[in-house]
């Protein structure tokens, strides 16, 4: 029997038993919407919360939190203290670290207004607050002039928006800690918040001279190699830098920013699975009832020569059609749920990791951009779950009835 005829016969049956078909579709729709919605919300939140760590190319952040320094022309950010740079020198000796960058963040005051500065190593471009890939669309695009070079001293690269607000161009001079810096380029760091983001980026050696606290970092970015044990590395960092150091991993970051721990994710997935199991039982029961209602018709089909497998195929196709409809609507509802959730979500980098003075003439954003993540992969999961559910229900319903002798089935008529 051609599949198109099976499909036609199945569609006619579904339109005849509208309320039963609708109930099954609603059940499948609800479970798919819940499962895909939970996954999509979780992925959307995870992606936005992880964006700062991802764009920094790091697995770990090392910072030393403490009391604010006394007021001066230049000062470290309110909650960050200095860490000796030499403490980080030996961390990667055993190959556990694949990349490391230390930066020095500080505030430079002029006329009572702070400018946010980050000193960084010009030669490290694969990890840290900015990665000048010079490619449009990626962080961070040089929009004017050039990026910092190894030989630079009193040279600065400025944030594009800061440059616009201060009227700075390539070749302009900017006062940092009482010293004139020449603007070499402007960089677009995007609107989303970054760890150790700044309005002005200068070479770290020059930054250390201005801050005058020796060879220090305020934040260290560490990318672990694949064989590294994060727990062992944390111990190693504490032993080298100090027990009171704050280490933030990618997982910590997610938990801090989005309040989403591995446990909450597992719980959400677990609840979805329980709902799916319950809906599966309901759909199987509904399919069984629908099949028993038409026991006589199935008897007629068998009497005219339909094999058991033809009957199983027809009923399974009916269930798959119901499931596909439920699955597609479920995915659509899941998208709406995710969209509404994301639109009403507001995530920001925690103040302990990055904070900027409110009194700055123009400041940097700590808000994270939250986008709806709804990949084809999620739709595939939703549809697949729905179809498997349909096949199970159809098979369970039809298998029992198809094994009856036609005469037994016909007695129902």
Partner 1 sequence: MINIHNITKTYGDSGIAKVEALKDVSFTIENGEMIVLMGASGSGKSTLLNLIGGLDKCDSGSISVDEENISALNAQKLADFRRDKIGFVFQQFHLIPTLSVVENIMLPLLPSGMKKAECYLVAKETLKKVGLGAREKHLPGELSGGEQQRVAIARAFVNKPEIILADEPMGDLDSKTGEKILELLQALNQKEKVTIIIATHDDKIATKAKRKIVLKDGKVIEDIKL
Residues contributing to the site for partner 1 (CB under 8 A): 1-2, 4-5, 9, 12-13, 15-16, 296-297, 300-308, 310, 403, 405-407, 410, 413
Instruction: Compare residues 2 and 227 and give the one whose CB is closer to partner 1.
Output: 2
Q: At 9, is the secondary structure helix, strand, or coil? A: helix
The nearest distance, CB 279 to partner 1, in angstroms, is 27
Instruction: Compare residues 142 and 301 and give the one whose CB is closer to partner 1.
Output: 301
The nearest distance, CB 295 to partner 1, in angstroms, is 12
Instruction: Compare residues 17 and 265 and give the one whose CB is closer to partner 1.
Output: 17
117: which strand partners? Answer: 106, 200
Strands 74-75 and 97-110: antiparallel
Q: Nearest-CA neighbor of 364 among 143, 148, 77?
A: 77
Tokens of 213: 């606290």
DSSP state of 70: P
Distance, in Å, from the CA atom of 234 to the CA atom of 248, rounded to the nearest integer, reads: 9
Contact present, 185 and 145 (Cβ < 8 Å):
yes
Instruction: Compare residues 278 and 413 and give the one whose CB is closer to partner 1.
Output: 413
Contact present, 397 and 316 (Cβ < 8 Å):
no
**CA 194 and chain centroid, separation:** 15
Using alpha carbons, list the distances in angstroms from residue 131 to 128, 197, 207.
7, 11, 19
Instruction: Compare residues 54 and 411 and give the one whose CB is closer to partner 1.
Output: 411
Instruction: Compare residues 15 and 227 and give the one whose CB is closer to partner 1.
Output: 15
The nearest distance, CB 282 to partner 1, in angstroms, is 24
The nearest distance, CB 318 to partner 1, in angstroms, is 12
Residues 6+ apart with CB under 8 A from 407: 299
Instruction: Compare residues 167 and 305 and give the one whose CB is closer to partner 1.
Output: 305
Q: DSSP readout, 280-296?
A: HHHHHHHHHHHHHHTHH
- Provide the CB-side half-sphere exposure for 182 (13 A, CA): 9
The nearest distance, CB 410 to partner 1, in angstroms, is 7
The nearest distance, CB 292 to partner 1, in angstroms, is 16
**Any alpha helices (H) in 294-404, and if so which ranges?**
295-303, 308-343, 376-402
Instruction: Compare residues 383 and 409 and give the one whose CB is closer to partner 1.
Output: 409
Rounded to 5 degrees, φ, ψ at 311 are -65, -45
The nearest distance, CB 20 to partner 1, in angstroms, is 13
The nearest distance, CB 299 to partner 1, in angstroms, is 8
Instruction: Compare residues 127 and 409 and give the one whose CB is closer to partner 1.
Output: 409
The nearest distance, CB 393 to partner 1, in angstroms, is 20
Q: At 255, is the secondary structure helix, strand, or coil? A: helix
First to last CA, the chain: 25
């Amino acid at each position: 029997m051609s599949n198109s005829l099976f499909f036609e016969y199945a569609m006619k049956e579904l339109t005849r038993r509208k309320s039963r078909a609708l109930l099954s579709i609603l059940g499948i729709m609800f479970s798919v919407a819940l499962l895909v919605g939970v996954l999509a919300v979780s992925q959307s939140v995870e992606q936005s919360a992880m964006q700062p760590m991802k764009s920094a190319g790091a697995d770990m952040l090392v910072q030393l939190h403490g009391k604010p320094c006394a007021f001066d022309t230049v000062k470290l950010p309110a909650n960050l203290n200095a860490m000796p740079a030499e403490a980080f020198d030996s961390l990667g000796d055993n190959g556990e670290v694949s990349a490391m960058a230390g930066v020095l963040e500080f505030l430079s005051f002029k006329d009572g207004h702070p400018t946010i500065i980050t000193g960084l190593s010009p030669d490290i471009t694969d990890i840290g607050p900015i990665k000048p890939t010079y490619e449009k669309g990626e962080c961070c695009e040089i929009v004017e002039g050039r990026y910092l070079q190894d030989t630079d001293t009193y040279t600065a690269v400025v944030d594009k928006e800061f440059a616009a607000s201060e009227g700075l161009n390539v070749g302009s001079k900017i006062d940092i800690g009482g010293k004139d810096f020449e603007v070499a380029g402007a960089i677009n760091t995007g609107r989303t918040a970054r760890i150790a983001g700044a309005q002005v980026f200068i070479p770290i050696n020059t930054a250390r001279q201005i801050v005058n606290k020796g060879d220090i970092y305020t934040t260290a970015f560490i990318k672990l190699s694949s064989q590294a044990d994060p727990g062992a590395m944390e111990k190693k960092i504490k032993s080298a830098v100090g027990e009171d150091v704050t280490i933030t991993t990618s997982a910590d970051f997610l938990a801090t920013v989005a309040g989403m721990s591995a446990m909450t994710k597992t719980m959400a997935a677990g609840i979805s699975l329980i709902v799916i199991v319950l809906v599966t039982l309901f759909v199987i029961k509904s399919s069984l009832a629908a099949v028993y209602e038409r026991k006589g018709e199935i008897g007629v089909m068998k009497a005219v020569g339909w094999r058991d497998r033809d009957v199983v195929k027809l009923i399974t196709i009916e269930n798959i059609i119901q499931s596909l409809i439920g699955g597609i609507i479920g995915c659509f509802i899941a998208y709406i749920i995710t969209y509404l959730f994301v639109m009403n979500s507001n995530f920001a980098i925690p103040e302990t990791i990055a904070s900027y003075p409110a009194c700055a003439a123009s400041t940097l954003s700590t808000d994270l951009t939250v986008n709806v993540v709804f990949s084809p992969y999620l739709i595939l999961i939703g549809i697949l779950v729905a179809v498997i559910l349909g096949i199970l229900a159809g098979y369970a319903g039809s298998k029992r009835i198809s094994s009856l002798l036609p005469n037994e089935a016909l007695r129902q008529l």
